[in-house]
């Protein structure tokens, strides 16, 4: 018997209503045990707020403006009621439920003669929306959305909207889903976590666990052209901290101000993925050709960084590189305007063999052996603080951000941030924050949304908590582009402030973090300024409020606390 989508919505409502981690785990585990095998993957993805698995390149491409129009027609109430509901709940999905219950045409319950939405039917309809492209696609998507929401109950509509905008906010995240899969199918957590890393998504692991159990999960391997989450680094204050953390010796490498990419190769077929696991192959034709010509392996998964370079070969600003990543037309012209340089730094898979459990120095050695004329990131392995400091100064003088420090025997751990890799910069660690609102500017900036409210995610509740605002850092061109994007995602406007669906991530520099009663989190950034727009990061990858608090506490290692 197919599982109704209502059951999934009710589960999500229970998750939203509790902060007890064990209860959340058990609720989801029980649900996974009850649903049909072919429902596990879509259900798991939807519980996490995704229309499709992370590796799936299909995207819904539904703007808030389009979704807002559909909700307005279905609700049949004054839109100010939505704004009031949003002010009360702070959640687009919850506000949708409230106004649909007030005056909408949406059904309150399924009658005897109506067909209930099932999990598989929702997935099918989402797939049709994603595959609707080309001329007139916006109008067709609107009709598809109206049909989908029009046959949903108000509770179902709440969670459909959350899935459509990619913001579930129940406090149940991927790590907890791994716990639930482990509990549901009685598979050790470390086995589930390893399989999730290799598959690139926990939803596929859940589906295999349902049918094949532990043996099936243990058999999961890398799949070419199925991108995996990148390994991440912690911040180190200086080379001393990195050397101490790595037992006195480390591999120091240039930290480039570029975009991290993952390259998959099988014969002449080459695909390039961004750190968000998005296929950017068409935007980087010179990388594809370089890999075809130079990589001396039949199959490989490589990691590297691309930077935009000027005529003299020196690095250009990150913002110019992002123009390449967003480009899908006139690529040949753009390759002349913004040439790029590829640097490789890791090798994860080589001719049917995974290398992620190999020590880093061994992976690097194998990478060098197959890289041909492709540059590797400049590296020095040392236990000498003075040599590492000199290498850092040289990296900065070459126009790079700083250094990476990698433990010589470190394994590659997809999606995990740890001390096996450090990043070292001369300034306070910047934060990647989400723009949640903006204010209209004055004077020369009249007509532009130019003062941005910045938020970090609470890793426990999923709530976005404001930590400050800024009008500094962006160029006029960037502000004009930001204004257009924010207007398209506006939820409400009052007193000159526009609240938006949280989609845009920005890198923010600041002088310090201080106590502040102004914000719910009790902290605020001092002298915040945006250093770049992180279109290569999703809101789920933004920094957490827990990290902000950690940096706040670290300040007192060198400063006195106010009594």
Q: Any bridge partners for residue 349, and if so which? A: 301, 354
Indicate the burial class of 494 (C-beta count within 10 angstroms; 0-12, 13-18, 19 or more).
exposed
Q: What is the DSSP string of 38-78?
A: HHHHHHHHHHTT-SS-TT--------HHHHHHHHHHHH-S-
Indicate the burial class of 91 (C-beta count within 10 angstroms; 0-12, 13-18, 19 or more).
buried
Q: Is 255 part of the annotated catalytic residue set? A: yes
Compute the distance between CA of residue 130 and CA of residue 72 in angstroms, rounded to an integer: 22
Compute the distance between CA of residue 113 and CA of residue 267 in angstroms, rounded to an integer: 55
505 and 318 Cβ atoms separated by less than 8 Å: no
162 and 49 Cβ atoms separated by less than 8 Å: yes
Q: What is the DSSP string of 282-326?
A: GG-HHHHHHHHHH---SEEEEEEEEEEB-TTSPBPPHHHHHHHHH
Indicate the burial class of 135 (C-beta count within 10 angstroms; 0-12, 13-18, 19 or more).
exposed
φ, ψ of residue 419 to 5 degrees: the values are -90, 0
Compute the distance between CA of residue 454 and CA of residue 470 in angstroms, rounded to an integer: 8
Strand arrangement of the beta sheet that strand 417-424 belongs to? 232-236, 417-424, 402-406, 250-255, 379-382
| Catalytic hit among 255, 265, 406, 407 | 255
Q: Which residues are catalytic?
A: 255
């Amino acid at each position: 018997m197919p599982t109704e989508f209502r059951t999934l919505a009710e589960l999500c409502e229970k998750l939203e209503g509790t902060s007890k981690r064990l209860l959340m785990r058990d609720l989801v585990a029980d649900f996974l045990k009850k649903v049909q095998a072919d429902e596990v993957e879509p259900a798991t993805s939807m519980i996490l707020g995704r229309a499709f698995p992370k590796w799936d390149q299909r995207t819904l491409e539904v703007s808030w403006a389009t979704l807002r129009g559909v909700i307005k027609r279905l609700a049949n109430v004054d839109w100010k009621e939505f704004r009031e509901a949003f002010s009360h709940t702070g959640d687009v999905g919850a506000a949708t439920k409230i106004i649909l219950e007030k005056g909408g045409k949406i059904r309150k319950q399924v009658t005897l003669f109506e067909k209930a939405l099932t999990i598989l039917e929702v997935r099918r309809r989402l797939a049709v929306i994603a595959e609707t492209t080309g001329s007139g696609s916006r109008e067709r998507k609107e009709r598809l959305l109206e049909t989908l929401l029009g046959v949903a109950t108000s509770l179902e509509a709440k969670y459909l909207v959350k899935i459509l905008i990619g913001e579930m906010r129940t406090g149940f995240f991927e790590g907890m889903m791994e716990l639930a899969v482990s509990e549901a199918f009685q598979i050790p957590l470390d086995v589930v976590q390893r399989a999730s890393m290799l598959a690139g998504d926990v939803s596929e692991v859940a589906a295999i666990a349902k049918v094949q159990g532990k043996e099936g999960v243990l058999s999961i391997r890398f799949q070419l052209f199925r991108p995996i989450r990148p390994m991440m680094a912690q911040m180190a204050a200086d080379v001393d901290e990195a050397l101490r953390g790595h037992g006195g010796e480390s591999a120091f490498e240039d930290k480039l101000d570029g975009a991290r990419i993952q390259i998959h190769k099988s014969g002449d077929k080459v695909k390039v993925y961004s750190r968000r696991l998005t296929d950017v192959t068409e935007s980087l034709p010179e990388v594809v050709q370089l890999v075809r010509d130079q990589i001396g392996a039949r199959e490989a998964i490589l990691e590297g960084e691309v930077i935009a370079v000027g005529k003299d070969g020196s690095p250009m600003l990150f913002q110019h590189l992002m123009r390449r990543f967003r480009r899908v037309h006139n690529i040949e012209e753009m390759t002349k305007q913004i040439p790029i340089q590829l640097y490789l730094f890791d090798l994860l898979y080589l001719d049917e063999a995974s290398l992620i459990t190999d020590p880093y120095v061994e992976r690097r050695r194998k990478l060098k052996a197959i890289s041909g004329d492709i540059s590797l990131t400049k590296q020095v392995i040392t236990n000498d603080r003075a040599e590492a400091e000199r290498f850092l100064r040289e990296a900065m003088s070459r126009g790079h951000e700083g250094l990476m420090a990698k433990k010589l025997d470190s394994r590659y751990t997809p999606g995990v941030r740890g001390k096996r890799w450090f990043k070292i910069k001369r300034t306070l660690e910047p934060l990647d924050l989400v723009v949640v609102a903006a204010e209209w500017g004055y004077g020369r900036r009249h007509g532009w949304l130019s003062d941005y409210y910045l938020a970090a995610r609470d890793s426990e509740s999923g709530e976005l908590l404001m930590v400050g605002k800024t009008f500094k850092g962006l160029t006029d061109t960037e502000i004009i582009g930001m204004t257009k994007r924010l207007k398209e995602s506006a939820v409400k406007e009052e007193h000159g402030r526009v609240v938006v669906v949280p989609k845009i991530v920005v890198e923010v520099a600041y002088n310090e973090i201080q106590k502040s009663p102004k914000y719910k989190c009790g902290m605020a950034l001092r002298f915040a300024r945006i250093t770049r727009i992180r279109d290569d990061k999703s809101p789920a990858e933004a920094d957490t409020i827990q990290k902000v608090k950690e940096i706040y506490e670290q300040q007192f290692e060198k400063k006195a606390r106010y009594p």
